[in-house]
């Protein structure tokens, strides 16, 4: 909603003519959508709300009952529940953004409740009980899956431009991959404002790539295996993993080969008959060959999280690690400043249905409570846009996050992610669908680690998963 102010010149003009005095529009937050919203006083008397264009051209529309031209919008308090802990850098940036926003919008106050990761449990209960909550942040999947009954449909807001969106609609401004995710999760509508993207990709030590004579990241599975061999020939360990991320390589391979929906059916098949599909054996055979070739770390069967992460950045003798974009932030206290990070998308597989434009990724998001007042909804979305435009680079710099604003720069240790996101056209769930069924995720993980360690065959792996 745009700010509408009646100039003294307009007031003088209104006093010289025989019409009734004209009511001024609501004074709202700087970044609101263009559609005007009545103040409480105007709504009760059915006063007309003037647009900014009327004010700037000194044209007034009179009504029989008018509002005082000195009236402004009433105070709006936003109760914001966050999934960050108060000491986290993301929370610090949010509070800085709120302070700046309040200075620009004196009628708006933002109060934070930092619940940390317990927010996904606490917030649904609080919303259902009718507690006063205006807005909230969480992982995008949690917003849709866990808070769905309380989410305001924000689609109309995305169609509007804001002072910080370079004159274009917000949906045309922010990172396209994040809109793809939000629209997909919302089944065509938008229920949250994307922030702090995350992705599941291959990280690599750029110094090791250089020493091994690798000049570009692999794009196909065949090229990936060639890279593994070059790294080994140069005297380094090609790949490490740990129980937290070990199933990712299988999940990605099968998703590339058959598609995510097929993988979801695989892990949710109560009969385990789908595990007899030749695609599973193909993927398992490829991993068996990698194990036999010595491409995985020697301790892959026993290493625990976060030991593998520390070994990757401290020992500097491991080439690649399939992990999340939160990885550099988790090892920031132990990694050397000169460590050269690189990332690449999981490679394509021969005969597969998906290419490298499909990425396992997610984001955080800011949702708005549908039971909030209209003034709170407007201000909440406005503040969310403000955070993810004016303070987006601050979030990148302070929290090692990835940007959603096209004018922001990616952090140096995640610089390759810009190209990955620019090429992303579709999404897999974070860490792929192979880990989505909690009832058998541990069975798959345990059997797979044996396969990666060279302690079992592809057939052994399948039989163990099936319980044979």
Strand blocks (E) in 298-345: 318-324, 341-344
> In whole angstroms, what is the distance from residue 44 CA to residue 154 CA?
26
- In this structure, is the dihedral angle defined by the CA atoms of residues 187, 190, 196 and 197, taken in order, positive or negative? positive
Could you read off the pLDDT of 423-434 as tens digits, one per residue? Answer: 999 999 999 999
Look at residue 74 in the predicted model and tell me its pLDDT: 84
> In whole angstroms, what is the distance from residue 211 CA to residue 230 CA?
9
The residue ranges of the chain whose pLDDT is under 70 are 1-73, 468
H or E stretch covering 119: helix 119-128
Look at residue 298 in the predicted model and tell me its pLDDT: 96
pTM of the shown model? 0.82
Look at residue 25 in the predicted model and tell me its pLDDT: 38
H or E stretch covering 8: helix 8-16
Instruction: Write the CA distances from 322 to 99, 212, 252, 425, 452, integer angstroms.
Output: 38, 19, 10, 20, 14
Look at residue 249 in the predicted model and tell me its pLDDT: 98
The one-character DSSP state at 290 is H
Residue 318, phi then psi, degrees to nearest 5: -120, 135
> In whole angstroms, what is the distance from residue 467 CA to residue 271 CA?
11
């Amino acid at each position: 909603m745009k700010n509408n102010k009646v100039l003294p010149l307009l007031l003088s003009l209104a006093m010289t003519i025989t019409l009734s005095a004209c009511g001024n529009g609501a004074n709202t937050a700087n970044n609101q959508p263009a559609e005007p919203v009545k103040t409480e006083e105007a709504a009760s008397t059915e006063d007309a709300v003037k647009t900014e264009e009327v004010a700037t051209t000194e044209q007034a529309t009179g009504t029989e009952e008018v509002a005082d031209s000195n009236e402004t919008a009433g105070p709006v308090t936003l109760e914001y529940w966050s999934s960050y802990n108060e000491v986290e850098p993301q929370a610090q940036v949010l509070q800085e953004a709120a302070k700046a926003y309040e200075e620009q919008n004196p009628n708006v106050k933002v109060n934070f409740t930092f619940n940390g990761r317990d927010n996904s449990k606490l917030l649904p209960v609080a919303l259902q009980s009718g507690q006063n909550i205006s807005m909230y942040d969480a992982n995008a999947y949690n917003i849709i899956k866990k808070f769905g009954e309380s989410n305001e449909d924000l689609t109309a807001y995305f169609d509007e431009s804001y002072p910080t969106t370079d004159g274009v609609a917000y949906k045309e401004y922010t990172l396209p991959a994040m809109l793809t995710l939000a629209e997909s999760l919302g089944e065509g509508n938008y229920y949250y404002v994307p922030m702090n993207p995350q992705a599941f990709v291959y990280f690599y030590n750029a110094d090791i790539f250089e020493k091994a004579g690798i000049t570009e990241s692999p794009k196909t599975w065949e090229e990936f295996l060639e890279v593994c061999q070059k790294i080994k020939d140069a005297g380094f360990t090609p790949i490490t993993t740990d129980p937290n991320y070990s199933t990712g390589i299988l999940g990605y391979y099968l998703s590339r080969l058959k598609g995510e929906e097929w993988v979801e059916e695989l892990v949710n098949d109560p009969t385990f008959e789908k595990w007899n599909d030749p695609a599973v054996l193909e993927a398992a055979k490829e991993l068996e060959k990698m194990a036999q070739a010595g491409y995985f770390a020697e301790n892959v069967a026993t290493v625990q999280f976060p030991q593998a992460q520390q070994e990757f950045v401290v020992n500097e003798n491991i080439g690649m690690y399939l992990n999340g974009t939160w990885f550099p932030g988790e090892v920031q206290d132990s990694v050397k400043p000169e460590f050269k990070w690189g990332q690449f998308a999981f490679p394509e597989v021969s005969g597969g249905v998906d290419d490298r434009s499909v990425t396992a990724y997610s984001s955080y998001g800011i949702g708005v409570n549908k039971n909030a007042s209209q003034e709170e909804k407007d201000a909440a979305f406005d503040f969310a846009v403000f955070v993810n435009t004016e303070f987006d680079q601050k979030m990148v710099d302070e929290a090692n996050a990835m940007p959603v604003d096209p004018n922001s720069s990616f952090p140096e240790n995640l610089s390759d992610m810009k190209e990955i996101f620019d090429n992303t056209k579709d999404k897999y769930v974070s860490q792929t669908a192979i880990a989505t069924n909690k009832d058998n995720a541990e069975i798959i993980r345990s059997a797979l680690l044996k396969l990666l360690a060279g302690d079992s065959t592809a057939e052994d792996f399948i039989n163990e998963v099936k319980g044979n």
